[in-house]
Amino acid sequence: MAKAYRAKWIIPSDGNVYEDCALIVDEGKVQEIIKQSDLVEENYTHVRDFANSVITPGFVNLHNHLQYSELCYNKTSLKRRLKRLYTVFKKHYFLAGISKKSFIYRLANLLSDYFCMTKEEKIASFKKGIELSLLNGTTAVVQLSKESKFFELLNETPLKTYLFFELFSDSVKTSKEEFRSIRKKIEKLKNQKSQNTFIGIAPHSVCCVHKRLFKILVKYCKKHNILLTIRLAESKEEINWLEHGFSDVDLLNEFTGQKKFEPLALELSPAKYLEELGVLSKQLLISYGNYLSEEDLKLLKEHKVSLAYCPRISDALHDKKLSFETVLEYFPNRFGFGVNSLAFNSDLSLLNELKYVNNGRLDVVEALRYLTIVPAKILRLNNITGSLEADKDADFNVFKLEEGEDYNALLNKERPDNVYIMGRRVVKRGELNIKS
């Protein structure tokens, strides 16, 4: 028999707001939304009354690095201390003269700290990211990583996870090697993944991936209908590299073991560069876009490219972001929010990401769409999640309202009080309700 969840307000992300209704769930699937006055309790195995609350679909995070949630390592271990000394020396050697406040130097610090962690510490950090995502109402997340060690964890977590494998290459040779490796990895893992795990490919950025690998990936992803995501126009260093053929990015590449290579052609804008490589399509999800020109934006809109909008991390790392007005104009119904990681962000809250830029531009019903159904469509998961429609997974958040508040108060909340995934309560009254 089905279960019923009563609430003062239900916003299913279909453009409607339901008052004094109940969400009906059976075997982890949404059945319907009915008026509370029509609810016959004897017909249900479980009836929960959330009273003065608002129920929304679970949130969808389009850009995250869960592995960077707790960057800590055992500093008393001699082996770890030597490893740390080595990375510090290497960093000073390759990045001498670069400002410690620069994006490149801060990214090198992140990679150095992560390099010093053991596999167990990295897994613990990853688990922390999963927990914080759930607590903040995220029920589906894009996870970016070069590593496959987290695959089994993703299979076990209740989170719906789109795992995009990050790729790097610096020559024709390494491009072929990287492609053979990722193709083998995908073929192996696609037969082992759970129903909640999905696989995509993430060439890191135009200045960290050789043109040859881009061209190979375009054909492969088109043939196998695989989604691509890439960081685009994120930093001034990337723009300098495209314009001059060199920048501080080259030093970071050397630090991480890559050789210097040149752009396809000089003075191409970021979007034009991808167009020349045949990358632009509706299968592409870009992140950041801080330095996109109007011509770039028009080109991306023309090709129906989607955007993972990360405003807080953009301001924190680059002192620059696309304005929300620009995002709404050039990516209508084709953007969602991302949080990156705790390495550079204060929390993993998509609500806080939205509140950071919204300032009343979108009402709660429209704003909620960009946390739920729109990013779900970008990931092609809208047939199973993103809205509270019949036969979709019962992935939903419950926000308790104070006396006198209505559903509009949702945008003032920090996090949900309860989170459900496929009808299972994974956060109960603000606390995790799953086994670690």
Beta bridge pairs of residue 163: 143, 199
Residue ranges of domains in the chain, CATH in brackets: 3-57+387-432 (2.30.40.10), 60-378 (3.20.20.140)
Residue spans of the chain under pLDDT 70: 73-80, 86, 435-436
Half-sphere exposure of 401 (CA within 13 A, CB side): 20
Q: Helix 311-318 vs helix 350-358: angle between axes, to the nearest 10 degrees?
A: 80
pLDDT of residue 278: 96
pLDDT (tens digit, 9 = 90+) per residue, 246-291?
999 999 999 889 999 999 999 999 999 999 999 999 999 999 999 9
Round to whole Å and give the CA distance between 230 and 167.
10
Q: Is the pTM of this model over 0.85?
A: yes
How many residues are there in the chain?
A: 436
| Burial (CB count within 10 angstroms: exposed 0-12, middle 13-18, buried 19+), residue 12 | buried
3-state DSSP call for residue 320? coil
- Give kind and range of the element (H or E) at residue 255: helix 249-255
Q: Are 3 and 399 in contact (CB under 8 A)?
A: no
Amino acid at 350: L
Q: Helix 172-189 vs helix 211-224: angle between axes, to the nearest 10 degrees?
A: 30
Round to whole Å and give the CA distance between 340 and 145.
12
Round to whole Å and give the CA distance between 338 and 141.
9
pLDDT of residue 73: 63
Tell me phi and psi for residue 227, to 5 degrees: -75, 145
